[in-house]
Structure 1
Amino acid sequence: MSTQSHAYQSYDIIIIGGAIMGASAAWFLSDDKDFDGRVLVVDRDLTYENTSTMHTNSCMRQQFSGELNVRISQFAADFVKNIRTYMGGDSRIPDLSIRSFGYMYLADNADFADVLRENQKVQLAAGAATQLLTADQIQAAYPFYNVDDIVLGSINLVDEGLWDATAVFDWWRRSARERGVEYVENEVVAITRNAAGTKVESVTLKSGEVISCGKVLNASGPRAVRTSQMAGINIPVEPRKRYSWIFAAERPLDQDLPLTIDPSGVHVRENGGGTYQCGGHSDIDPAADYDDFTMDFTLWENHVWPILATRIPQFEAIKVQAEWAGHYAYNTFDHNAIMGPHTEVENFYFLNGFSGHGLQQSPAMGRGTAEMLVHGQYKTLDMTPFHFARIPAGRKIVEKAVI
């Protein structure tokens, strides 16, 4: 890691972590007409090579069991499809779209089928277009599936599928920088609070500089607990390894493959050009070391490929083209975001614990965080249910649709 210097000794807001969440919050801060403060984003590696952002599936869905999570993804879809308008009409910004092949949830038992039915009620009430399909209906629409064990399926073909997250990420960073947000490649190694412990006064960088700050935002992805512990705060977030493969099929499917969530937990989607992207993890799923991105090569042969070939028989003859391990920032408490201010360290804010659905939530989460930092309240979606305060209170958000 190189270390870079910063322009000022004091910032209104310091964001620790510059991947998709930090970038979103920084851009929305730069877009708030009521805010003219200084923002510094500090990240260990500005290539973001090992971030969750760069190891993503790059898809979005509205098939959640909680209304707020549905609406968060609906804003993401609107933002992506209208990104140029949202970003001020800048002609350099590309027109983006969503390749809406949908997510296909497959239930192989009555209890899971009931969950899909209940989830659909929530989704329809929020304006999503989720359809429930019998095994026969799935077979008719997608003849390549083996549905012998399937009781029910759920799919939404509107604003649900693949999107260009890299373009959004790049333009958030570029636009924010042009508006005065500073990014430095460095590492926060200490956070100093006041004598009472109720407020952060400064952060110390690996290069030795001490920078005073008005507010601190923890957007450190899988390393979130390391950042919070510097401020004397524990949060239930840890890195969990998730494996991805891109493969070519000897006989490609003759239609788009929805992002298919097999009852086993293995998921696979269309990638284009006769290739597909697949993801999964082992049944034993401990916290990973922060720098451990080692592949488990036995997982493909022994677990993932047999499941794929059983579910989609045309995938018996396939060839892996690329494979990698990434990290979920896994919230062990309830698998949902941790946001808002700390209950005691009043100027320390969270944007953590997305447990695998952070990329699609980043537009709404960054917007909401910027609103809270500038105005002390939410102007658009009320994100209060995600606040840190629920954790010491033991109030779990039950989200049944976690992949």
Structure 2
Amino acid sequence: MSGTGKSVRHVDIAIVGGAVTGSSIACHLAMDPRWTGSHLVIEKDPSYQFCASALSAASIRQQFSTAINIEISLYGIAFLRDIGARLAVGDERPAIDLHEGGYLFLATPEKRTILEANHALQTKLGADILFLEPEALAARFPWLSTDGIAAGCWGRSGEGWFDGYGLMQAFRKRARAHGVPYLAAEVLRAERDGAGFRLTLSDGSAITCERLVNAAGASGARRICRDLGVELPIESRKRMIFTFDCREPVADCPLMIDPNGTYVRPEGTGFLCGSAPEEAADPETGDFDVEHGFFDDHLWPTLAARVPAFEAIKPGRAWAGHYDMNLFDHNAFVGPVAAVPGLHVAAGFSGHGLQQAPAVGRGLAELLVHGRYTTLDLSPLAFDRLAEGRKLSENNVV
């Protein structure tokens, strides 16, 4: 592209959004030996300072209640375990510090049957999840208070946390090593251009393409779809993460989720925690302000009641990021948009984007190159379910 700021560049596929999802798509496209076309990535913030990939709690689990989400994460953990070989660039092998400490979901008596049903599906599909009665919970996690707890499920392997920013950069570096260009610009307008699309960029240039992949996150994905006459029911919702140190040791702590939704996991020598606020206190927002009262009034009391050692802590740094929250059913939209031929979406992950990026990137690349899913069928996440009113009900939303 010339330096005039007014040039027009044509590619076969343009991917809007260069964080973990967009970079996974770009990387998998480039690695497919049958792909002989051209594609590029447009990312408005090449520093990635505010992207969800860099600001989330960066974890992976199989403890979902729907088969597709479980299968996506089973593929995801296999990918993360082998990331050094899968995304190596020359002699450089990426490392993401994967720690398989497991998730621990706790259930009250009225939610025990839901936990049992979820566990049956998870283990049927091959997830290594243990169902633990209160006595077994106390024996395995002696620092845990089981007051009011009827049972728990813990991921013995295949669940844990990792360096999310490192995963995003590994996809990006591998894509760039294959020659995929990354443009530092914002898409100001998307419109149809014959059978394809024209994207007007913030630097004054334009991109034309035959197919368009919209992986632009919360506000960006919605705006691009709206430009093309499609309403995407996605909003930006703020999630805050707080860190702290604990005076007493809490050995072998997994990512524990209290029945009220508060979660905590180890982070370095300390811990990090968070929770979704009540729905009435969870408006759409674009700010990154940390509300420290949320920790004092909600998180700390919950954690101290569940883990008595957490009564004596020293708060550390805190930050806020954003989920692209799918208001329809809290699951991602992945795949083509029938009303706009050539348009594909990968948006609305509702906090699951990092762990689902390996499978979603591979799946969309398969659709774009082969015209169908050739490995894991992601059609349950199809955008068409919105028009059909067919919700993918997921009980385990954290």
Q: Secondary structure at the match of 2:230?
A: coil
One-letter identity of the residue aligned with 1:36: T
Aligned 8 A contact 1:16 1:22 in 2: yes
Q: Residue 369 of structure 1 corresponds to which residue in structure 2?
A: 364
Describe how 1:314-333 pairs up with structure 2 within 5 A: 314-333=309-328
| 2:237 paired with 1:233 | no
- Note the C-alpha offset of 1:42: 0.9
CA RMSD of aligned residues (A): 1.8
Q: Residue 269 of structure 1 corresponds to which residue in structure 2?
A: 265
One-letter identity of the residue aligned with 1:372: L
Q: In structure 2, what is the Cα distance between the partners aligned to 1:7 and 1:176? A: 24
Q: Residue 345 of structure 2 corresponds to which residue in structure 1?
A: 350
Q: Deviations over 1:207-262 (max 9, x none)?
A: 22122101111101122211211211111111111110111112231x12111111
Q: Which runs of 5+ in 2 are unaligned?
A: none
- Going from structure 1 to structure 2, the CA distance change for 1:231 and 1:347 (only over 3 Å counts) comes to same
- Going from structure 1 to structure 2, the CA distance change for 1:250 and 1:25 (only over 3 Å counts) comes to same
Describe how 1:165-314 pairs up with structure 2 within 5 A: 165-194=164-193, 199-223=195-219, 224-253=221-250, 255-273=251-269, 275-283=270-278, 284-290=280-286, 292-314=287-309
Q: In structure 2, what is the Cα distance between the partners aligned to 1:116 and 1:316? A: 28
Q: Which runs of 5+ in 1 are unaligned?
A: none
Q: Secondary structure at the match of 1:228?
A: helix
Aligned 8 A contact 1:200 1:231 in 2: no
Q: Residue 66 of structure 1 corresponds to which residue in structure 2?
A: 66
One-letter identity of the residue aligned with 2:114: V
- Note the C-alpha offset of 1:142: 0.4
Q: In structure 2, what is the Cα distance between the partners aligned to 1:165 and 1:55? A: 8
- Note the C-alpha offset of 1:6: 11
One-letter identity of the residue aligned with 1:18: G
Q: Residue 115 of structure 2 corresponds to which residue in structure 1?
A: 116
Aligned 8 A contact 2:73 2:355 in 1: yes
- Of 161-170 and 100-109, the range deviating more from structure 2: 161-170
> Which residue among 359, 382, 388 is the counterpart of 1:387?
382
Q: In structure 2, what is the Cα distance between the partners aligned to 1:319 and 1:302? A: 16
- Of 158-167 and 118-127, the range deviating more from structure 2: 158-167
Q: Secondary structure at the match of 1:398?
A: coil
Aligned 8 A contact 2:128 2:158 in 1: no
Q: In structure 2, what is the Cα distance between the partners aligned to 1:51 and 1:248? A: 26
Q: Secondary structure at the match of 1:367?
A: helix
Q: Residue 52 of structure 1 corresponds to which residue in structure 2?
A: 52
State how many pairs are aligned.
394
Aligned 8 A contact 2:7 2:205 in 1: no
Q: TM-score, normalized by length of structure 2? A: 0.95
- Going from structure 1 to structure 2, the CA distance change for 1:194 and 1:170 (only over 3 Å counts) comes to closer
Q: TM-score, normalized by length of structure 1? A: 0.94
Q: Residue 149 of structure 2 corresponds to which residue in structure 1?
A: 150
Q: Deviations over 1:336-383 (max 9, x none)?
A: 110111111111110001111111010000000111111111011011
- Note the C-alpha offset of 1:95: 5.3
One-letter identity of the residue aligned with 1:179: H
Query: How much identity, in percent, do the aligned residues show?
Result: 37
- Note the C-alpha offset of 1:117: 0.4
One-letter identity of the residue aligned with 1:155: W
Aligned 8 A contact 1:84 1:91 in 2: no
Q: In structure 2, what is the Cα distance between the partners aligned to 1:281 and 1:24? A: 27
- Going from structure 1 to structure 2, the CA distance change for 1:371 and 1:7 (only over 3 Å counts) comes to farther
One-letter identity of the residue aligned with 2:236: P
Q: In structure 1, what is the Cα distance between the partners aligned to 2:344 and 2:4? A: 24
Q: Secondary structure at the match of 2:238?
A: strand
Runs of 4 or more consecutive aligned structure 1 residues displaced over 4 Å after TM superposition: 3-8
One-letter identity of the residue aligned with 1:20: V
Q: Secondary structure at the match of 2:123?
A: helix
- Of 155-164 and 281-290, the range deviating more from structure 2: 281-290
Aligned 8 A contact 1:20 1:359 in 2: yes
